[in-house]
Amino acid sequence: MLAVYLALGIAGVAMVPLLGQWLLTFLFRAEYAVHTDLLWW
């Protein structure tokens, strides 16, 4: 059972950078879209 928790812990740590990168990309795109909308108007 300990091995399962260990594997989940490692997977969770590995997911953090990917999730963070995705979140930053998502927020940057939203911000970029807002700025382009302002430029169009």
Condensed to tens digits (0 to 9), the pLDDT of residues 1-41 reads 899 999 999 998 888 888 888 888 888 887 777 766 666 65
Look at residue 10 in the predicted model and tell me its pLDDT.
92
Helix/strand/coil (H, E, C) string of the chain?
A: CHHHHHHHHHHHHHHHHHHHHHHHHHHHHHHHHHHHHHHHC
Look at residue 41 in the predicted model and tell me its pLDDT.
54
